[in-house]
Amino acid sequence: MRKVPNEDLERLLPDEYRQATKLPVVLVLDNIRSLNNIGSVFRTADAFRVEKIFLCGITATPPHRDIHKTALGATESVPWEYSKATREAVEQLKAMGYSILAIEQAEGSVMLNELRLDRSGKFALVFGSEVGGVADDVLAISDMAVEIPQFGTKHSLNIAVSAGVVIWQMFLELGLE
């Protein structure tokens, strides 16, 4: 067994990436403090061809060296937009026909492993701050809360890890056309 060299991985070139079919998913980052987490989310979004990332509130925006350190260029391939208010971004996405899925431990939440989606739909995944989670006013207008099952002693996962787990499950559910 040997590692496959990068040049043999057959990854898309930047122009090919821009033209490629995207997963019908956008990400909404609600007041994320860690620049490394933001960069990691960009990199994961690139890997699974997420449509776009909305950076909201105090969430930092590219270019920034600490975002770049973990994004490794994904800020150039994944479209992004800044919104001062997360609720406004979510309302805009809702008006555009996206189902809003707050990734949060909440009453009535659906466990990620039990989530079943309409393959013809479009989805916005809202990830909350490292301390407070998804803001209450955003949770209130979400179509559903989705919870990642956990079996240890900790109450939550790091936001970049949560994004990776949920995006992977969305990829399995929806696939790429």
Look-up: residue for tokens 């989606």? 117
Phi-psi map region of 100: left, alpha, beta (phi>0 left; psi -120 to 50 alpha): beta
Flag whether 29 is in a domain. yes
Residue 137 sits in a domain of what CATH number? Answer: 3.40.1280.10
Flag whether 9 is in a domain. no
Query: Using CB atoms within 10 A of its CB, is residue 95 exposed (0-12), middle (13-18) or buried (19+)?
Result: exposed
Query: What residue type is 27 in one-letter code?
Result: L
Query: What residue type is 103 in one-letter code?
Result: I
pTM for the model stands at 0.96
Q: Which residues, at least 6 apart from 40, have a Cβ–Cβ distance to it below 8 Å?
A: 70, 71, 160, 163, 164
Domain count within the chain: 1
Per-residue pLDDT of the chain (177 residues; tens, 9 = 90+): 999 998 899 899 888 988 999 999 999 999 999 999 999 999 999 999 999 999 999 999 999 999 999 999 999 999 999 999 999 999 999 999 999 999 999 999 999 999 999 999 999 999 999 899 999 999 999 999 999 999 999 999 999 999 999 999 999 999 886
